[in-house]
Amino acid sequence: MATKILLNGCKGRMGQAIIKLAPDYGAEISGAVDQGDDPSRFIAGADVLVDFSFHTVTLAVTELAARHGKAVVIGTTGHTSEERAAILAFSKQVPMVFAGNYSMGVNLMYYLVKRAAEILGPEYNPEVMEMHHNLKKDSPSGTAEHIVDVIREARGIAKEHVLNGRGGMIGARPVDEIGVHAIRGGDIVGEHTAYFIGQGERIEITHRATDRAILARGAIRAANWIVGKKPGLYEMKDVLGLGD
């Protein structure tokens, strides 16, 4: 039986991609709402609420889902710390997947980077590079920042030792430093590489995105997976069965 999705943010780029792909991945859009619509009209007939809207909207729709005992998948970003805390509190009542990137490949990359950072040790210098189209406004990307956090946590490196770009007479590279570099140009959808550079060899873990539909497919997979789970906060690594 198809998973019934109440989609909040149906007019956005991600919302449109989810609507297009849902039937191919065992899901059905039982309700599609956006700004000015009333999601409560559709909540009873849904198995899961999927939110790709705006950060100020997520809390209200999550509260609605929790009140009706419906699972939640959140892909909206940009929440304040207060908004995020209030949203996550509802994971005590219903199962919730909260992720900043729903690409299955990117989430597998996070896992591989963590294992590489743990296994290779400090003698392999970590660097992160990301590439995006020339219209992207933020730098580094949120995905690059998460890769950096994965390395930091695995190595015990402080945030103060993350260096965004290099220039001038900066001296020798400290062992406990992570360099982060951003490239912008053309229509690059997204490319991220984590380097572990040792003496005589280097390891590169790269993810290249060529179609934004990868995010929609991952969100639909998360929606299918979360239905029937126990209340709690889940990540994409749980959806993909990657463990710790």
Active-site residue numbers? 132, 136
Sequential DSSP letters for 127-165: EEEEEE-TT--SSS-HHHHHHHHHHHHHHT--GGGEEES
Identity of the residue numbered 121 = G
Percent helix / strand / coil, the chain, rounded to 5:
40, 25, 35
Rounded Cα gap, residues 180 and 15, in angstroms = 31
List the beta bridge partners of residue 28: 4
CB-CB contact of 187 with 133 (8 Å): yes
Rounded Cα gap, residues 6 and 178, in angstroms = 41
CB atoms inside a 10 Å sphere around CB 68: 14
Instruction: Give first-to-last CA distance, the chain, whole Å.
Output: 31
Order of strands across the sheet that contains 95-98: 27-33, 3-8, 48-51, 71-74, 95-98, 232-234
